[in-house]
Amino acid sequence: MTRLLRSRLVPAAPLLVLALGVLTGFASAQEAAAAADAHAHPQGDSLITLFIQGGWVMYPLLICSVAMVWLTVDTWGRTGVKKLAPPAHVAQMQDLFRSGDYVGAYQFAKNNNSSFCDVSRVCLSFAGDGEEAVETAMFAEINKVNASIQTRINYLSVIGVCTPMIGLIGTVAGMKGAFAELGKSGASDVGALSGHIGEVLVATATGLVIAVPAFLVFYFLRNRLQGGMGGLQECLQALFRKMPYEHLKGAHVGEEEFYAAVPNWVAGGEAAPAAVAA
């Protein structure tokens, strides 16, 4: 009987070993899959979880972050020398000035959109009034262009100042909720207490994360604008340097309408009206 049992168990041994190997391999595969999933999705809070945890102040902070990115991209494209004074526009205006076609230069400046063309168009409209009038108009228009772009850059400074304050509001609100929870349930409800403390930390950190790059970009773009305006001024001064003002005296190059005229009492031969006493 014993021999019969041994004869039946011996052929079954390889099957048991094979079954154990399959089970072991299956378990190893499951552990490997779990490790890979943990590696692909590490433990920790996601951005959405942190956004929700930060409370209602995360919404204005999100708006500020979007505005910061938009202002950075927009003002970067406006402050470069090649954007303020495109080389193609400068070369075409120089060719028209060399040929003495100031009316054509005015039309070209009017039909092309750039700061260089805008300032040139205004300067040409004052060409008949002399060099001093042209220089005054040039610097006035350059200051107008500079102020327009600088206003956009200043909004980055506003974002850099306001976002830590918004985060501080979230900090105060979170601390208020934390103390209220502590007073209501004591230290027993650790989960609710940690939620309020998380709101405090997330709101403060988010405000600082937005403010720091906003200030860095603000100072960088401000210096970039100064360099671009200097290049624009050099191009304009070189263009109008040898302007023949003596031949353009009284000429009306532009299309602007003049509203001042000779007084009607001079045109009609009448005496000037007496000043009305107050």
| Nearest Cα residue to 135 out of 253, 245, 251, 255 | 245
Give the pLDDT confidence score for residue 20 in this predicted structure. 38
**Rounded distance, CA 55 to CA 130, Å?**
63
Average pLDDT over residues 5-12: 41
Average pLDDT over residues 194-212: 77
pLDDT over threshold 90, residue 203: no
pLDDT over threshold 60, residue 45: no
Give the pLDDT confidence score for residue 191 in this predicted structure. 54
pTM of the model as a whole: 0.68
Q: What is the per-residue pLDDT across 130-184, written as a single tens digit (0 to 9) for each?
A: 889 999 999 999 999 999 999 999 999 999 999 999 888 877 776 776 666 566 6
Average pLDDT over residues 85-114: 93
Where is average pLDDT lowest: 16-30, 37-51, 136-150, 167-181?
16-30
Q: Between the CA of residue 246 and those of 68, 124, 139, 159, 242, what are the distances in Å?
A: 50, 14, 21, 51, 11
What residues does each domain of the chain span? 47-246
With cut-offs at 50, 70 and 90, classify the pLDDT of residue 53.
low
Q: Which residue has the higher pLDDT, 102 or 198?
A: 102
Q: What is the per-residue pLDDT across 238-278, written as a single tens digit (0 to 9) for each?
A: 999 888 888 888 777 877 776 777 777 776 666 556 554 44
